[in-house]
Amino acid sequence: MRQNTATPAHALPVIAFIGGGNMASAIIGGLIDQGQQASQIEVLEPGAEAREALRSTHGVEPLPEAGAALERAQVVVWAVKPQVFRDAAAQAGAHVRQALHLSVAAGIRCDSIVRWLGCERVARAMPNTPALVRKGMSALYARPAVSAAERQSVEAIMACTGEFLWVENEKQLDAVTALSGSGPAYVFYFLEAMVRAGVGMGLSEPQAYRLAVATFAGAAELARRSDEPPAVLRQRVTSKGGTTHAALQALEDAGVGASFEAAMHAAERRAHALGDAFGA
């Protein structure tokens, strides 16, 4: 895996975002943190509320509709929902033909984007919402037509949101989507369950929440720093005949591990289906 390093602002191109919602805002925040000028960022966002949020949070001046201002962008980040990507491409495409295109949309494949935009230089990134606090994890994929220098531009942009790694096979992005793209939601799901159980056992909600969040953060940091696999780290917590053993046995008896794997496969299938349904 290639780890990112801090990106010098001069290495960042003029970037246009098509769609200015959650993910675009997270990436724009990272870019600005890394020294990108707001004036070097264009955003096309039809929603008035979202435009106002971008203006007040990041100091950018979003456009309500596609126009000539987009033409100066060297990189265009497509941050619209998969369901509307094709329409967005029809609206903005004529203004951004010369750019390198970077899509963060789940499921939508490069071949569809090439067809809609008539441009060969297309890459994809699958980020996640911890990008909001610069702790994101993105997987990147680029078509062969994307040059080495353009791959570096993609890296420079996504490095502003956290870590990244490259995948060689575009299909792997559906697995990435199921794992790290949707992954924060799984963590929050378990967090909610742990807090509910803690409250049920007599802790206050703030106590249970603080204990649970610190446990996730601590366990993740331990795993990150450790050379040992998670199974070994898990065994270290699990005393023979102790409390953890009782809990893990209950999880196994309920089939939680298997259900969790099935859930992730469902997410991967959905990513693939989005590509089929909205990539035509």
Ligand X SMILES: NC(=O)C1=CN([C@@H]2O[C@H](COP(=O)(O)OP(=O)(O)OC[C@H]3O[C@@H](n4cnc5c(N)ncnc54)[C@H](OP(=O)(O)O)[C@@H]3O)[C@@H](O)[C@H]2O)C=CC1
Ligand Y SMILES: O=C(O)[C@@H]1CCC=N1
Closest by CA to 105, choosing from 183, 22, 185, is 22
Considering the complex, state which of residue 22 and residue 57 has its C-beta at the smaller distance from ligand X.
22
Strand-strand pairing, 41-44 and 122-126: unpaired
- Stretch 106-145: interaction string toward ligand Y, x if CB under 6 A: x---------------------------------------
Instruction: Using CB under 6 A, count the residues that bind ligand X.
Output: 28
**AA identity, residue 195:** V
Going from the C-alpha of 107 to that of each of 150, 211, 238, the distances in angstroms are: 22, 36, 39
What are the tokens at 254? 């309920």
Interacting residue with ligand Y among 30, 177, 268, 278 (CB under 6 A): 177
Contact 278, 82 (CB under 8 A): yes
Strand-strand pairing, 75-78 and 100-103: parallel
Would you count residue 153 as binding ligand Y (CB under 6 A)?
A: no
- Stretch 124-143: interaction string toward ligand X, x if CB under 6 A: --xxxx--------------
- Stretch 171-210: interaction string toward ligand X, x if CB under 6 A: ----------x-----------------------------
Q: Which residue is nearest to ligand X (CB)?
A: 21
Rounded Cα distance between 61 and 28, Å, is 12
CB of 254 to ligand X, least distance (A): 28
User: How far is the first Cα of the chain from the last one, in angstroms, to the nearest whole number?
Assistant: 33
CA triplet 270, 271, 276: central angle to 5 degrees? 90
Would you count residue 4 as binding ligand X (CB under 6 A)?
A: no
CB of 164 to ligand Y, least distance (A): 16
- Chain residues in the site for ligand Y (CB under 6 A): 106, 177, 181-182
- Chain residues in the site for ligand X (CB under 6 A): 18-24, 44-47, 50, 79-82, 84, 87-88, 91, 104-106, 126-129, 181
